[in-house]
Amino acid sequence: MPHVLDCEITAHQEVARGHYRLAVCCPEITAEALPGQFCMVEVRPGLHPFLRRPMSIERLFADGFSILYKVEGEGTRLLSSLPAGGTVNIQGPLGKPFPVEAAAERHICVAGGIGVAPFPALAEALIQKTGRTPEIVLAARNERMLLCEREFRQMGCRVSLATDDGSAGRKGFASDALRELSPGPGTVVYCCGPMPMMRAVHGVCAETGARCYASLEAVMACGDGVCMGCVVEANVEIEAERMVRVCSDGPVFDSTIINWSSY
Ligand SMILES: Cc1cc2nc3c(=O)[nH]c(=O)nc-3n(C[C@H](O)[C@H](O)[C@H](O)COP(=O)(O)OP(=O)(O)OC[C@H]3O[C@@H](n4cnc5c(N)ncnc54)[C@H](O)[C@@H]3O)c2cc1C
Ligand code: FES
């Protein structure tokens, strides 16, 4: 059962325009959380907004964790106003984590924009559990929207950059940058970002024989498998439906399970 707890906000700061990192002290959730899992955050106490907002666990510390988020609408705008020293109510950990494939020759994390959020924790776990340092592809609209580059370099990761306008790294898409790294059958690729980006990354992996795990986003209500508000089309039948729930069957899926044709 996930915990539902008031957590002390230990740090909260803007890290790029409209992007924030919020760290909480919460030993109970931290002790059980794994990279790729998420939590549901109450952005303001009370009934408005009614729904919690799903946020990936960015990094795990001794007795707490951080989330990294982009202000999209009212919920995240309210969240950005919570002060350090106050509390925030969090439900978690939720969902299925990234599998850590120790036998793989290479691990490559491919992030589009704020899709980078779950990868610092994953990179740390890969280093710790496999002894190999993952390669990172960071893609964003422009240089200012590239997040966590310094953190990945500090971990010793090789980082490839791609921007839409060419202001940093190669001008082009995350999937182009991934192709340049020549993934192969011994490679595991993890991706998170906009659905069209992940569809393209899935395509590169299908061509090159790399295994691919995608962390999907969907608008969520319950976050816990009950409301069916977060379903996406699948290629396989699960309980007589060609649908999967992002919150409880995922958010991390083997990319071959997802029907990418509508993205
Ligand atoms: C498993 C999971 C993990 C996530 N992790 C992160 C994270 O680590 N950092 C982060 O910044 N965001 C993350 N998101 C997306 C985040 O939950 C939404 O951006 C947020 O709920 C928007 O709330 P809002 O009230 O600010 O915007 P709203 O007013 O609800 O919506 C504003 C805009 O954002 C879009 N939107 C709303 N919810 C989502 C969603 N779930 N996914 C994509 N677009 C959405 C709406 O369609 C609308 O265009 C995650 C989503 C999921 C499902
Ligand atoms: S959000 Fe309710 S089932 Fe996924």
DSSP 65-76: EEEEEE--SHHH
In whole angstroms, give the CA distance from residue 183 to residue 140.
Answer: 21
How much helix, strand and coil, in percent to the nearest 5, is found in the chain?
A: 25, 35, 40
Structure tokens at 190: 């993890």
pLDDT at 240 over 80: no
pLDDT at 263 over 90: no
Alpha helix segments (H runs only) across the chain: 27-32, 74-80, 119-130, 149-154, 174-180, 195-208
18: left (phi over 0), alpha (psi -120 to 50) or beta: left
Q: Which atom of ligand 1 is nearest to the CA of 230?
A: 53
* Closest Cα to atom 23 of ligand 1: 75
Binned at pLDDT 50, 70 and 90, residue 115 comes out as very high
Under a CB-based contact definition with an 8 Å cutoff, are residues 70 and 76 in contact?
Answer: yes
245 burial (CB, 10 Å; 0-12 / 13-18 / 19+) is buried
* Closest Cα to atom 32 of ligand 1: 73
pLDDT-above-70 percentage for the chain: 100
Segment 38-44 shows an average pLDDT of 96
Q: Please state which of the ranges 104-118, 123-137, 231-245 shows the lowest mean pLDDT.
A: 231-245
Ligand 1 center from residue 162 Cα (angstroms): 23
* Closest Cα to atom 22 of ligand 1: 72
Segment 230-258 shows an average pLDDT of 91
In whole angstroms, give the CA distance from residue 41 to residue 38.
Answer: 10
Q: Residue 88 forms beta bridges with which residues? A: 7
Ligand 1 center from residue 180 Cα (angstroms): 30
Segment 157-161 shows an average pLDDT of 97
Ligand number with the minimum distance to the CA of 220? 2
Evaluate: CB of 216 within 6 angstroms of ligand 2.
no
pLDDT, averaged across the chain: 95
Q: How many helices (H) and strands (E) does the chain have?
A: 6, 16
Ligand 1 center from residue 186 Cα (angstroms): 33
Q: What is the pLDDT of residue 46?
A: 82
Whether the ω angle into residue 35 lies within 30 degrees of 0, i.e. cis, is no
Q: What is the pLDDT of residue 201?
A: 98
Ligand 1 center from residue 258 Cα (angstroms): 20
In a 13 Å sphere around the CA of 218, the CA atoms on its Cβ side amount to 27
pTM as predicted:
0.96
179-222 residue pLDDT tens: 999 999 999 999 999 999 999 999 999 999 999 999 998 999 99
Structure tokens at 210: 């790399």
In a 13 Å sphere around the CA of 207, the CA atoms on its Cβ side amount to 12
Q: Could you give the 3-state DSSP secondary structure of residue 17?
A: coil
Query: CB neighbours (10 Å) of residue 177?
Result: 23
Any idea what DSSP says for residue 239? T
Ligand number with the minimum distance to the CA of 43? 1
Any idea what DSSP says for residue 157? -
pLDDT at 239 over 80: no
Evaluate: CB of 93 within 6 angstroms of ligand 2.
no
Ligand number with the minimum distance to the CA of 221? 2
Ligand 2 center from residue 37 Cα (angstroms): 14
Under a CB-based contact definition with an 8 Å cutoff, are residues 123 and 155 in contact?
Answer: yes
Ligand 1 center from residue 223 Cα (angstroms): 12
Q: What is the pLDDT of residue 143?
A: 94
Binned at pLDDT 50, 70 and 90, residue 95 comes out as very high
Binned at pLDDT 50, 70 and 90, residue 22 comes out as very high
